[in-house]
Structure 1
Amino acid sequence: MKTAVRWTDDHFIAGDLALDFANTVFRRLPEVGADLLDSGAALIGWYVHAGLLASADGAARRSAAGQLAAARLLRDRLWAVLEAQRSGAELPAEALAGLLASAQAGPGRDLVVAADGTVTPRTVTGAGAAIALRAVGLALSPPVRPVRSCDRCGWYFLDTSRGRRRRWCSMKTCGNQAKVARFREARG
């Protein structure tokens, strides 16, 4: 029997909601690890923990199972755009068009955008559209703080360090593992 993913604040370390969504795999490097969005319940749990949805009522749970494939596709498109940005390449047209289409699916019944730009999802579909809107924002207006990818696991994060040389998604996990490995290697 599969246990549900327990979302914690350790899953939300990127500094941007779209980047946190991109990090919904166990790791991206050296190969893609286990998918943490392994069920509709995991998807709805992520949306609730991220603050996109207030609760996981019955209608949301039923809808989430049908939205799982769309959420994974959204994440794949976001990865394609982020990797192109990181390498300085032209953004892949198909991935960007997909992000725009996902963002367009929300406004109206599923998503409200206030005059100040605040996005409030009303449904699971709206929560996905909110992520897509944020992803489009990252693609078309990259943040001042560079988007980096962890040297150990590949998770994305905004580099908010003073020298802009952060290498790990989190000191608590990957940073600590890297330092322990270096220490062991030095003591050899």
Structure 2
Amino acid sequence: MTAATAWSGDHFIAGDVALDFANTVYRRRPELGADLLTGAEALAAWLDRARLLPAGSGTSHVVTDAALEEARALRGLLWAVFDAHEDGRTIPAASFTGLLDTARRGSAHVTVSPDGSTTSPEPDGVLAILALGAVALVLTPPPQGIRACDRCGWFFIDSSRGRRRRWCSMKTCGNQAKAARYRSTHS
């Protein structure tokens, strides 16, 4: 049995929950790294940390292995859609349709409040919320744009002043890049 990932603030740096969910791997570049959704418990903990589960449900909320597989499939759709968006390509129709299908399947378990916030006590409803968030992000892109980290490939909304942010986080990838550049010029 694999230990569940200990989610921290470092896993929620993208500026949008759908992008954060797409980033639930150790890295996407230069090769695919370890899956941080190590099991159903890790998915439940991520959903709780992202505040997508109803208040008070905690990580004890039942997330099945089937829900974990659905979540991983959703993450693959997010990668395809956000990669295309970041590269300025047309969004793949099959991936966009997959997001809409995920939203449709779980929509019966989604509650929409008058302020537009959404909640669901069920994992498929939460996946529907993530899919809808991704659809909204693609159809109404942020003016800052969606970028991917030069080092690890994690997605983020570039909110930097000059729109030239290169790393998911200065704390991790930015420091590694600067250290590598320093070593290469001082060896």
- Separation in structure 2 between the aligned mates of residue 64 and residue 48 of structure 1, nearest angstrom: 15
Equivalent residue runs for 1:24-173 within 5 Å: 24-53=24-53, 54=55, 55-56=57-58, 60-61=61-62, 63-108=63-108, 110-173=109-172
Q: Would the aligned equivalents of 2:77 and 2:95 in 1 still touch at CA under 8 Å? A: yes
In the TM superposition, residue 87 of structure 1 has moved relative to its aligned partner by 1.8
Aligned twin of 1:183: 182
Q: Would the aligned equivalents of 1:112 and 1:122 in 2 still touch at CA under 8 Å? A: no
RMSD: 1.3
Q: Would the aligned equivalents of 2:145 and 2:158 in 1 still touch at CA under 8 Å? A: yes
Identity of aligned residues (%): 53
- Separation in structure 2 between the aligned mates of residue 69 and residue 123 of structure 1, nearest angstrom: 15
Letter in 2 for 1:99: L
TM-score (norm: length of structure 1): 0.93
Gaps of 5+ in 2: none
Letter in 2 for 1:106: G
In the TM superposition, residue 2 of structure 1 has moved relative to its aligned partner by 2.1
Q: Deviations over 1:60-111 (max 9, x none)?
A: 32x3322011101111011111111122211111100010111122333x21
Q: Secondary structure at the match of 1:32?
A: coil
TM-score (norm: length of structure 2): 0.94
Q: Deviations over 1:92-141 (max 9, x none)?
A: 11100010111122333x21112332111222121111111101111211
Letter in 2 for 1:30: P
